[in-house]
Structure formats: C-alpha cells, structure tokens
C-alpha cells in the first residue's frame, strides 16, 4: 500500500480536491492507497473537512491527525510518516503544487527497487524575485556547507518503508527533511517535476517565517557557520599582525599619532565580527538547549480514520 502524507495548514479548500486528484490517478493503476492528512494547527475548517472526508470515502483509506497548534511543516511531515502504515510513503503538498500524476512514475521506480525517489523542481513555478533570490542564496549556503545540491530539491519524496522506519527512529528534534534524505543514503533516484499553481488559498510563508526556516535548517544540518568564525578569526589575526607591524614601524619613525581612522575602523570591524560570532554560537546553543529538553516534536491532539476502531 502507498501512504500519501499531506501536511495541511489552512487548506480547507484543498482537502477534497487533493483526495479527488490523487484517487483519480491511483485507482486506474490499481495502486492501493491511504492519505495521511496532518492538520498543522489550522485556523480555518481544514480539520472539519478532513473529518467529513474520512466519513464518506469509498476508495482508499483516510487518516487525519490534528496538532494542538501550528508546529511547522517539518513536524507535520515527521508525524505523518510516523503514522503511515504503507509499504512505501510519499510526502506531498496539500495545495497540489506537486503534481499527483508523477506518483505513478515514482511508484514504478519504487517497484524497480529504488528506496528514495526524490522530486526535483524543473520549473519552479511563479515566484517573486525576492523569493527566488532568497532561495538561491539559502540553497547555495547549504550546498556549499554540506556538499548536497539543494536549489532544485523539494519535499516531494517517495520513501520505502525501510527508509521511513530509519527516519522516524532518529532522535533529534530539529530535522531538515529535504537534506536528510541525502544523509540517509540508500538507493536514490530523482524525478523532475514542474511546480504547479496553487489550487486555492495562498502560500503560508511570510518573509519572517522563511528567514526563520532558513536559519533553523542551516543550523540543524551543518556546523559550518561556527567553523567559519574560526577561519574569520585567523584571517583577522593575519591582518592584525600586518597592521601591528606597520604601527610599530611608524612609532619608531616618530609619527605615531596618525592612523586614528585605522583604530576606529578596527574597533568597529572587530566589534561587529565578535557580535556576529556570538550570535552564531548563540544559535547553536539554542539548538542544543532545545534538543536537550527532549520535548516531543509536536502534540497530536486528535486522530480520525476512515476505518472504524
Ligand atoms: N504547511 C504546513 N505547516 C506550516 C506551513 C505550511 O503544514 O506551518 C504545509 C501547507 O499546508 C502546504 C505545504 O506545507 O501543504 C507547503 O506550504 P505552502 O504551499 O504554503 O508553501 P510553498 O508551496 O509556497 O512553498
Ligand atoms: Mg505550495
């Protein structure tokens, strides 16, 4: 059986559409399926829609999880995977920006023995210039520091049961799903897809949440920024040695009062570098603090299923 995990945050208009589309793709191919909707603390009627869908479906199985508040897409993906029962699971957006038609191609690849089938973005869809630039910068940072090509990657992935079990048994709280599949290894293959227009509603990302997501995922996946501080420190030391030598020479030559600008500049530069570095270390400290608290990733408040009992 194929489990489709659909994180949903304020997607009341997309629940029925998603089911209909996925059903119409899978049923003709005789693929047995379940949909696992994860209501990520929506403020609209998303969960009522999921519940009513679960009460009336005839084909396929519906599971609906509801979080006690908004925990974010990563938590929704994790929880969805943890509650899925299929031999193979796929994560896709509930707004149908990930085309369901691709499921067949991915499923066939899974049947051929691939364990991670990753959707990569061909056409990225309509995005603002700001968003595109931001995404480029963010992914080039990640790619450089981890060695994983990320710009075209997405959360649209199909995972074998083995991979799902491995993934859900990871104990870390802050996971970055997109990059983690590369870390997991296994037999992987990519499938290109074009990002579709949203069916209804608007994107859930604000600039603030995007920045938070970017910083969060970088710090959860790589410690490169901290190593960068050390490198910067060494560069600055070299600079200081040169400048120190120059000042000493000047002092011996008897014209030492000059160079006041240099002092001011140095103060400003070191000051800001130190503060930035402290900030970066702070992020990692916060991460450690969060991990060590060992809180659950999310709180599942309610579960509905199309199968009674
Ligand atoms: N989503 C979620 N929790 C959030 C934000 C988003 O579960 O806090 C879901 C959302 O319902 C959708 C998917 O993640 O199914 C992708 O979100 P969205 O379409 O807003 O992002 P975009 O496609 O614009 O990158
Ligand atoms: Mg979307």
Per-residue pLDDT reduced to its tens digit, 240-276: 888 888 888 887 887 766 667 778 778 878 887 888 8
CA-72 nearest atom, ligand 1: 8
Q: What is the pLDDT of residue 258?
A: 65
Q: What is the pLDDT of residue 162?
A: 92
Tell me the pLDDT band of 91, cut-offs 50, 70 and 90: very high
The reply to whether the predicted model has a pTM over 0.85 is no
At 37, list the tokens: 């909707």
Mean pLDDT for 118-143 is 77
Mean pLDDT for 35-48 is 92
3-state DSSP call for residue 89?
strand
- Which range, 97-106, 129-138, 189-198, 219-228, is most confident? 97-106
pLDDT at 21 exceeding the cut of 80: yes
Pocket probe for ligand 1: among 6, 8, 9, the residue whose CB has the most ligand atoms within 8 Å is 9
Instruction: Locate all alpha helices (DSSP H) within 254-293, ordered by sequence.
Output: 260-293
Token pair 């400290």 is found at 285
Q: What is the pLDDT of residue 116?
A: 92
- The radius of gyration computed from the CA coordinates of the chain, to the nearest angstrom, equals 25
High-pLDDT (> 90) share of the chain, %: 26
Contact 286, 212 (CB under 8 A): no
Angle between helices 15-26 and 46-56 (to 10 degrees): 40
pLDDT at 161 exceeding the cut of 90: yes
Mean pLDDT for 134-151 is 73
Neighbours of ion ligand 2 (CB under 5 A): 93, 95, 97
CA atoms within 13 A on the CB side of 200: 10
Nearest to 157 by CA among 189, 111, 204, 199: 189
């Amino acid at each position: 059986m194929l489990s489709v995990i659909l994180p949903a945050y304020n997607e009341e208009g997309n629940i029925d559409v998603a089911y209909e589309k996925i059903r119409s793709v899978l049923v003709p191919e005789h693929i047995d399926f379940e949909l696992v909707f994860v209501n990520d603390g929506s403020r609209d009627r998303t969960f009522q829609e999921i519940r009513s869908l679960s009460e009336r479906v005839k084909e396929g199985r519906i599971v609906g999880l509801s979080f006690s508040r908004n925990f974010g897409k990563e938590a929704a993906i994790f929880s969805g995977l943890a509650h899925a029962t299929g031999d193979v699971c796929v994560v896709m957006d509930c707004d149908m920006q990930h085309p369901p038609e691709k499921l067949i191609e991915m499923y066939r690849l899974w049947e051929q023995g691939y364990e991670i089938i990753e959707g990569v973005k061909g056409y990225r869809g309509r995005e603002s210039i700001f968003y595109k630039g931001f995404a480029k910068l963010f992914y080039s940072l990640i790619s450089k520091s981890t060695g994983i090509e990320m710009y075209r990657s997405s959360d649209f992935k199909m995972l074998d049961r083995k991979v799902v079990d491995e993934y859900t048994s990871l104990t870390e709280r802050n996971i970055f799903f997109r990059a983690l599949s590369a870390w997991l290894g296994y037999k992987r293959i990519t499938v290109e897809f074009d990002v579709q227009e949203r069916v209804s509603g608007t994107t859930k990302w604000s600039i603030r949440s995007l920045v938070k997501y970017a910083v969060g995922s970088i710090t959860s996946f790589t410690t490169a920024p901290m190593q960068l501080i050390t490198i910067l420190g060494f560069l600055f030391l070299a600079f200081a040695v040169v400048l120190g030598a120059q000042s000493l020479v000047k002092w011996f030559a008897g014209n030492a009062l000059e160079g006041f600008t240099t002092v001011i500049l140095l103060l400003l530069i070191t000051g800001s570098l130190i503060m930035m570095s402290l900030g970066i270390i702070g992020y990692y400290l916060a991460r450690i603090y969060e991990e060590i608290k060992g809180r659950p990733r999310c709180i599942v408040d309610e579960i509905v299923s199309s199968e009674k009992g």
